[in-house]
Each structure stands twice: as structure tokens, then as C-alpha cells.
Amino acid sequence: MTIGSHQRTVGKSQTHLTPPFIIHRLGPFDLDPCAALGQPWATAARHFTIEDDGLSQPWNGRVWLNPPFDRYQVGRWIEKLAEHGDGICLVHARTEADWFRPIWERADAILFLADRLHFHTIDGARQPANSGAPVVLAAFGKANAVRLACCGLPGFRVTENLRVGGCRSLREVELSHE
């Protein structure tokens, strides 16, 4: 696989804070198992940081997950959220990656955001450049799928009704477009 000269397979930093407007539109959340040390705003009622090793902790309640985007780590976080079954994650739209599979297979809804996000630095400042890749929000649990549907964030939402397992036959689809 090749990538553009401006992209890296593992970023310089794994601390990319979620823009507050995302949390305001989708929250409140009970737990953020990937909170940054010293982050300037709360993303959930309870936070685990790298010092707590959120991946090894039990997760309870509604989870907000902005995991490390490191391709060697992100899959474990997504898998744990899929097993937990109650939360929303924000990840790059790397739909071809193996780590994205639990989203395709078990998320109740996926929102492909219309615009690339500008994350924030640990001091709360908005990053000068966008995320460098499209971003998706994936909802696990029916209530979280409803939150994605009602959040007002621009983008394209995919629900379980559009998954391959629930599709109408190709002929029905063709007939509906004639």
C-alpha cells in the first residue's frame, strides 16, 4: 500500500483532542477511556488516561472513544467498544483496514462527516491543519445510533438497514431507480 508523501502511517503525536462541539452534540457520556492527560475540557463524567491504561479497565455506561489513531493500537480499542456495545467512537475513515472491521460488522450506525475535523492540542488550541483524512463517528447501541441521527452534524449516515446482510436484491435496487 502506498500513501501520499504528506501522510504518515503513525502520527507524530497520538494526542488529538476531540473538538468540543462534537461532545456537545453527542453527549453526555459516562466514560472516556482514552482521555488525554491534562485535557482542558471534560469529554465524559469519568476519564481514564494513559496512566490508568483504559484498555485494561472495565468500561461502564455510555462510552466516548477517541482512540489513538496509531494503526497498531486502534483496533484493540474499537474491538473493546464493540464488545461493550454502548458508545460512540471517532476514527479516521480507513474502511479498508482490518481494525475497521468491528465497525462494519457491529456498529448500529456510522456517520461519515462531510468535512475534515480540526482537532485540538493539549492546551485547547485548534490545530492549524485539518485531520488529514476523513473522519467517521461509529455508534454501538441503538440509543447511540439515534444520537448520530439527531446530532445535526453534516455528513452521510449508514445504518444497519444498509448493511450487505440487510440489502434488497440487486434487481429490486435496479427497479427502484428506473
Q: Each residue of 90-126: pLDDT tens digit?
A: 999 888 999 999 999 999 999 999 988 877 777 876 7
User: Rg of the chain over CA atoms, in angstroms?
Assistant: 17
Number of neighbours of residue 47 by Cβ within 10 angstroms: 19
- Report how far residue 72's alpha carbon sits from residue 20's, in angstroms, rounded to the nearest whole number: 27
| Mean pLDDT within 143-160 | 89
Tell me the CA distances in angstroms from 161 to 8, 108, 126, 168, one per residue in order. Answer: 35, 9, 36, 10
What per-residue confidence (pLDDT) applies to 38?
A: 87
Who's near 113: CB < 8 A, 6+ residues apart? 134, 135, 136, 137, 153, 154, 155
Q: Each residue of 73-92: pLDDT tens digit?
A: 899 999 999 999 999 999 99
- Report how far residue 116's alpha carbon sits from residue 92's, in angstroms, rounded to the nearest whole number: 10
Report whether pLDDT(167) > 60.
Answer: no
Q: Is this model's pTM higher than 0.75 or not? A: yes
What per-residue confidence (pLDDT) applies to 90?
A: 95
Average pLDDT of the chain is 82
User: Contact at 8 Å (CB) between 133 and 170?
Assistant: no
